[in-house]
Chain A
Amino acid sequence: GESVGLHLPTLSVQEGDNSIINCAYSNSASDYFIWYKQESGKGPQFIIDIRSNMDKRQGQRVTVLLNKTVKHLSLQIAATQPGDSAVYFCAEGGTSYGKLTFGQGTILTVHP
């Protein structure tokens, strides 16, 4: 069946370091991928997305990489800050009416 999963459940980094969060997906028909950030007690917050016809997309301090050959998605956060501490979810979509399939989540902890 369809699934989106993460390799690492937790990631701890020092402030100022770069962070990389990984995600594997299994539905090759998905054509839209999103990274969400979820802070404690809040709903998922959109970070960045990428379509399947791209392999890289950059935002402010964040970059998403998509490798369709191995069905792998990653989120790179540059100069990680304590405010980046949260749970990060990847999600895939585009195969049906707006349905997003979320991965398990990675807890990112940034130490000052």
Chain B
Amino acid sequence: EPEVTQTPSHQVTQMGQEVILRCVPISNHLYFYWYRQILGQKVEFLVSFYNNEISEKSEIFDDQFSVERPDGSNFTLKIRSTKLEDSAMYFCASSLDWTPYEQYFGPGTRLTVT
């Protein structure tokens, strides 16, 4: 069964550094998402992306964050000047279309900012 993959599985970075989290969505999906989950808390929506444009973003997704589809297979989340509170699991998801089409989640990248 096709699946969403994410790299790295764990990223440790120092406060103020930039990180890029990478995702390979399911190949025939056109809609992409990033969510995050702070330890012990609920999953929070960050951004949705379609046709090389952000469709919607949450309040969390400020100027520190950006997304890109650099080629036909990758979808990236860049966090500039990381802060301690950016430490979380970051999940990528993809779907065939907007809801009610199922969003398939990747295994996540654990980001630790020290």
Contact = CB atoms under 8 A, between A and B. Distances in A.
Please determine whether chains A and B interact with each other in the same assembly.
yes
Contacts of A16: none
Given A89-B42, A97-B56, A45 B105 contact: yes
Nearest to B58: A99
Question: Which applies to chain B's interface (DSSP): helix, strand, loop or mixed?
Answer: strand
Given A89-B43, A97-B55, A49 B106 contact: no
A44 B99 contact: no
A48 B3 CA distance: 18
B102 A98 contact: no
Contacts of A94: 99-100
Contact of A98 (B42, B55, B58, B106): B55
Given A102-B43, A102-B45, 15 more contacts: A43-B91, A43-B106, A43-B107, A43-B108, A44-B91, A44-B105, A46-B104, A93-B100, A98-B33, A98-B48, A98-B99, A100-B99, A102-B35, A103-B42, A104-B42
30 contacts: A41-B107, A42-B107, A42-B108, A43-B93, A43-B108, A45-B105, A49-B100, A49-B102, A89-B42, A89-B43, A91-B43, A94-B99, A97-B55, A97-B56, A97-B98, A98-B31, A98-B33, A98-B103, A99-B48, A99-B56, A100-B35, A100-B45, A100-B99, A100-B103, A101-B45, A102-B35, A102-B42, A102-B45, A103-B42, A105-B42
